[in-house]
Structure 1
Amino acid sequence: MVGRTGGLCLNAGGYSPGMDELIDLEERGWRALATEGAAERFYHEVLDDEPLMLLPGGLRIADREEMVRLMSRTPWEAYRLSEPTVTRPSNDVGVVDYVAHAVREGGAYAALVSSHYVRRGDGWRLYFHQQTPR
């Protein structure tokens, strides 16, 4: 697991930095989630204008600012991402899925994660994100 000090964590399944820009973007997101104050900046930059998140406990969030607030709460103490894959239905759409293991105050967490990105004129934007507990 990678702690708040950072470092590469997507190292299972033959991953290496630069393998895919969308996997790199996901790793940057988790690094921001594990760094006090970084998540708000990161998600303001990467979220699409009308994103959707489906999270454990039946939580459905379709409000961009609510997502930023939620992602900016208690940082993860450590995380590990494994088995990453990327599917590109078109040049401007990408789907990343992987397994996430993370720890923070309150306990351990494991989920199958899927993030869907859309390429906009100024880069990739996170349009849809879902976490299914394992």
Structure 2
Amino acid sequence: MTDELWALEEGWWTMGAAEARRRMHPSCVMVLAGSVLQGEAILNGMDTAPRWDGVQMTDRHGVETEDCVVLAYRAAATRKGAAYAALCSSTWVRQAEGWQLIQHQQTPEG
């Protein structure tokens, strides 16, 4: 799995909404604890929610085809001193403007 895709995935946790807009496919779907979001609703949530201070991704797995990469991992993130742990998966697709996130799912642990 390319380091580029893992770096993009890590950045997704900490980047601001402007960078996320550039990196997200317009039809992206996210399944988070208690909600399913798509497209602009994801970005609207990023505008109001504080970003994560950092994330550690372990138990990494991935599969890559020519224009699609699926990543799966265990995330341990922190925000304002609070810890969060989840099992995650993301799907990135290659577009003319580069890799874009088209799907992300989180299952909280604990």
TM-score, with structure 1 as normaliser? 0.71
> Which residue pairs with 1:31 in the alignment?
14
Q: What is the total number of aligned residue pairs between the two structures? A: 108
Give the superposed CA RMSD.
Answer: 1.9
Which residue of 57, 68, 93 maps to 1:118? Answer: 93
Which residue of 57, 66, 85 maps to 1:91? Answer: 66
Q: CA deviation at 1:102?
A: 1.6
Contact 1:51 1:128 in 2 (8 A): yes
**Counterparts in 2 of 1:54-93, with a 5 A limit?**
54-57=31-34, 59-62=35-38, 64-72=39-47, 73-88=49-64, 90-93=65-68
| Structure 1 unaligned regions, length at least 5 | 1-17, 33-38
Percent same amino acid among aligned pairs?
A: 34
Would you say 1:102 and 2:81 are equivalent positions?
no
Give 4+ residue runs of structure 1 displaced > 3 Å after superposition: none
Separation (CA, whole Å) in 2 of partners of 1:67 and 1:19 = 26
Contact 1:83 1:98 in 2 (8 A): yes
Separation (CA, whole Å) in 1 of partners of 2:50 and 2:72 = 24
> Which residue pairs with 1:5 in the alignment?
none
TM-score, with structure 2 as normaliser? 0.85
For 2:83, give the aligned amino acid: A
Q: CA deviation at 1:100?
A: 0.8
| Structure 2 unaligned regions, length at least 5 | none
Q: Equivalent residue of 1:79, what SS?
A: strand
